[in-house]
Chain A
Amino acid sequence: MKTTPIGFWVKTASLFLFRSGRSTVVLSLMVVAAVYTLIFLSSLAVGVNDAMIRNSVSLYSGHITGFSLSPWLKTDNLFVEGVVGVLKRISIPGILTYEGNIETVTLIGVNPSAELKRTAIWKKIIAGKYLQATEQAILLSQPLAERLKVKYGDVLYFSTGFEKNNLQLKLSGIYKTGIDQLDRGIAFCPLAEIADMHKIWSATIFLNEGVEPESVIAEYRRRLADTYHFKSWKELMPDLRQLIDLEYLSMGIVTVLVFGVVSLGIACAFVIFILKNLREYGIMKAMGVTTGEMTFLIVVEVVLMNLAAT
């Protein structure tokens, strides 16, 4: 006594599927639709989060910030694998005055042309224009400008409190981001204006899409003195990080739910498909097809159907 070869059952299964035409097609389409829904959902989740990261990071802060960097370290030293841009910034705390109005501020010296290329603060300008490298100019946030009662073209004075000579800066533009940390207490001027006052700088580093900031930071640790501190956007913007985690979580829940419903639906469809053919299995049973062979036949049918779907 011997059982029948596998090839025979595969052939029978494909004949069954092929000749039952419509229901096979409908089932296959269901599987396809389900798979695509899932792929779409997950790529949507990833896409939304990527966009959120990109927007937040490219507005100002970059993927990685390097703090308290020595003047001997050049921006070129920070270009490692995966880095697309390094911005040099120098911040000095001080006081801004205009006609008797006084505000404490952190003045940040930036390289205007490099900033224009990488960051998007310029898009947030509501009056005037962005800085130019050759101008002795200052860019203020709207709340700060309001409190100082300055308008485009006015001249302000910046002092660190230690030095007698004040820095004289013309208001070139006013911006508003809607983000607290950026709208309160900081102002921008060209790097050249304050490069002599303070040598220690910070680096704002931009990465290629998909590069993990941690791996770049690890590379810096290997290459540079470990007195330097590098932090990724995840540490510097915990809110954003939380938001993204939340987003992933909710998307995950939705995906699991959809997956559950979909697979339940498919399972039902398969059960119906099998029940519909119960008569056939009965006839085969009477002809002496073993339970094992029958199971194999059904499994092959289901597998073939899934193959047809993908």
Chain B
Amino acid sequence: MIELEKISKEFRSGRGYVRALTDVSFTLERGKTAAVVGKSGSGKTTLLNCIGGLERPEKGTVICFGADIYSLSAKKLSLFQRKNFGFVFQHGNLLSYLTVFENIAFPLWLNGIAEKQAQLRVKELLKKIGLSNAQAALPHELSGGEIQRVSAARAIAHSPRLLLADEPTASLDTVTGKNLIALMFEMGRNQGCTMVISTHDPEISRLADQIIQIKDGRVIKETA
């Protein structure tokens, strides 16, 4: 279960203080999917980063599977992230100096999974995303859609308990985007993964169990 309790996040920037999130609270049951929707600049990325331990909110608590993640030490938080979280970003997802295979294997290696087992797992995922023939390619040799598919496979490889996807389809055309989402939902749900996906696309949010609509950093509507 994911529990957000009145989190607020402020940025100091060229424009002065920007309140990216104000008193955001919601809970998401284990194994369920939430879609975070809102206009550009509404705070979606910031919210996902706060949930995933990448951006510490000034106020409020984030409890993931019973752990108050921001009360953990930096090292403990990192170790918690590598085991429990999988990220898909809007763009710029893959490690440029690692091949497709190595990128997907990275979280497995990081989690100390035996080489044989890791290989099998990566092969299985490559097949699922339809890129078995591209396993030796470097990211710059891939198309945008292929990169996002590899990212999704990497985010899910180590069977994390929480999958966070920040507008994973933003840089893709509609059909490719839809396929990617279908793939992510399939992979995620198969594993009982809790998912938070931010998006502009109503078609995507319709697939979710829960929709969290935000505007100017506040939750304006929550539908389950």
Contacts and interface: CB of A to CB of B under 8 A. Distances in A.
B is bound to A = yes
A267 B98 CA distance: 26
B87 A286 contact: yes
Interface string A1-16: 1111100100010011
A16 B80 CA distance: 25
A291 B76 CA distance: 11
Given A1-B76, A279-B92, A288 B81 contact: yes
Given A15-B97, A291-B74, A2 B81 contact: no
Interface stretch (B104-112, B183-191, B197-205, B215-223): B104-112
Interface in B43-62: 52, 54
Contacts of B96: 19, 279-280
B63 interface: no
A292 interface: yes
Contacts of A19: 96-98, 138
A283 B98 CA distance: 12
Contacts, number: 64
A286 B50 CA distance: 12
A15 B138 CA distance: 12
B73 to A, nearest CB: 10
A289 B97 contact: no
A289 B82 contact: yes
Contacts of B78: 285, 288-291
Nearest to B52: A286
Contacts of A284: 95
A286 B107 CA distance: 11
A287 interface: yes
Interface residues of A, number: 24
Contacts of A77: none
A17 B87 CA distance: 25
Interface residues of B, number: 28
B110 A289 contact: yes
A201 B89 CA distance: 93
A287 B112 contact: no
A284 B97 CA distance: 12
Given A287-B81, A287-B82, A289-B82, A16 B110 contact: no
A5 B96 CA distance: 22
A146 to B, nearest CB: 80
A263 interface: no
A42 to B, nearest CB: 37
Interface in A151-187: none
A208 interface: no
23 contacts: A1-B76, A1-B83, A2-B112, A8-B110, A15-B102, A19-B96, A19-B98, A20-B97, A279-B92, A279-B96, A280-B96, A286-B81, A287-B106, A288-B80, A288-B81, A288-B82, A288-B83, A288-B110, A289-B82, A289-B110, A290-B75, A290-B78, A291-B74
